[in-house]
Amino acid sequence: MSASSSSSSSRPASQPRFMQHKTEAFWFYRFASIIYDQCNKLVYTEEMRDESLEELDLNDSNLIVVDVGGGTGFTTTGVVKHVDGKNVTILDQSPHQLDKAKKKEQLKDCTIIEGDAENLPFPTDYADRYVSAGSIEYWPDPQRGVRESYRVLKKGGKACMIGPVYPTSWLSCFFADIWMLFPKEEDYIEWFQKAGFQDIQLRRVGPRWFRGARRHGLIIGCCVTGVKPESGDSPLQLGPQMEDLKKPTNRNPFKFLWGYTLGWIGSWYFIFVPIYMWIKDKIFPTGVQI
């Protein structure tokens, strides 16, 4: 794949996605971390996690693994079933989420650090495996984050991105667009291709009580994997970061609060949808589309 150049572009005005900023995500999880593990069971089950991690080929306990946007360590607890915890690093920008991870006995041997998914503190050609679950939806520039996943992997290393998928229902589209990024499946494939990955695969996942329905979108709806073919940095060159955690935002506090409130409203819609689908699963006979 030949080297190419791209510059970061802002989100379309028609899709404001009020939580697709690092600052908003930080404050969102300042409060969501309190109930995160409980609510997470509605949309990202252990079964879904383990199905996704199958695609990562965790076939050696000595593999060096980074879990980016690892939050409370839910995905990492699946990783350490196969890989020695001392070889695993959990990175997240939220100290509140990481505090939850630090209290989990399964993760006591893991390295837990704060950091930026779009500017990882790891050297090039560092890890054997990269995983990120439920994080890409908050990245201001997803392509940059995928590019970083390529950079930090060794030659032959594998990345696995686990994230949401865009709805088709008009109402769910509306709430998705005011909350955070819900990529289309082809978006993931394009990001991986541009970053330089090969052997790109996409696997659909979802709570079993959705019975395969995807019209409302899914907070966790697919996992995408790719293999780094050569050592070194990604062939994709990008401009400056859209949002740098180290720099003050100087944003209007009233606009921030307004957008933050709308983002919270959008998030609650996607709590009620799984409950609604779970009830339908209980009411409608098995085999009937819901």
Instruction: Tell me the average pLDDT of the chain.
Output: 89
Provide the pLDDT confidence category of residue 251 given band limits of 50, 70 and 90.
Answer: low
The domain 18-229+252-283 is placed in CATH, from the list 3.40.50.720, 3.40.50.150, 2.30.30.100, 1.20.120.80, at 3.40.50.150
pLDDT of residue 111: 98
Provide the pLDDT confidence category of residue 241 given band limits of 50, 70 and 90.
Answer: confident
Provide the pLDDT confidence category of residue 28 given band limits of 50, 70 and 90.
Answer: confident
**Sheet arrangement for strand 127-133:** 111-114, 88-92, 65-68, 127-133, 153-165, 218-227, 198-204
Asked if residue 245 has pLDDT above 80, the reply is no
Average pLDDT rounded to a whole number, residues 152-159? 98
Provide the pLDDT confidence category of residue 8 given band limits of 50, 70 and 90.
Answer: very low
Asked if residue 185 has pLDDT above 80, the reply is yes
Lowest mean pLDDT across 121-135, 153-167, 208-222, 242-256: 242-256
Provide the pLDDT confidence category of residue 240 given band limits of 50, 70 and 90.
Answer: confident
Q: Report the predicted TM-score, pTM, of the whole model to 2 decimal places.
A: 0.89
Asked if residue 136 has pLDDT above 80, the reply is yes
Q: Got the DSSP string for 225-251? A: EEE--SSSS-SEEE-S-SS-TTS----
Provide the pLDDT confidence category of residue 289 given band limits of 50, 70 and 90.
Answer: confident
Average pLDDT rounded to a whole number, residues 215-220? 95
Average pLDDT rounded to a whole number, residues 223-249? 86
> Domain-by-domain residue ranges, the chain?
18-229+252-283
DSSP-derived 3-state class of residue 169: coil
Q: What span, in angstroms and rounded, lies between the C-alpha atoms of 7 and 9?
A: 6
Asked if residue 9 has pLDDT above 50, the reply is no
DSSP-derived 3-state class of residue 34: coil
Burial of 213 (0-12, 13-18, 19+ CB in 10 A): middle
Average pLDDT rounded to a whole number, residues 34-38? 69
Q: How far is CA 240 from the centre of its chain?
A: 22
Asked if residue 11 has pLDDT above 50, the reply is no
pLDDT of residue 29: 74
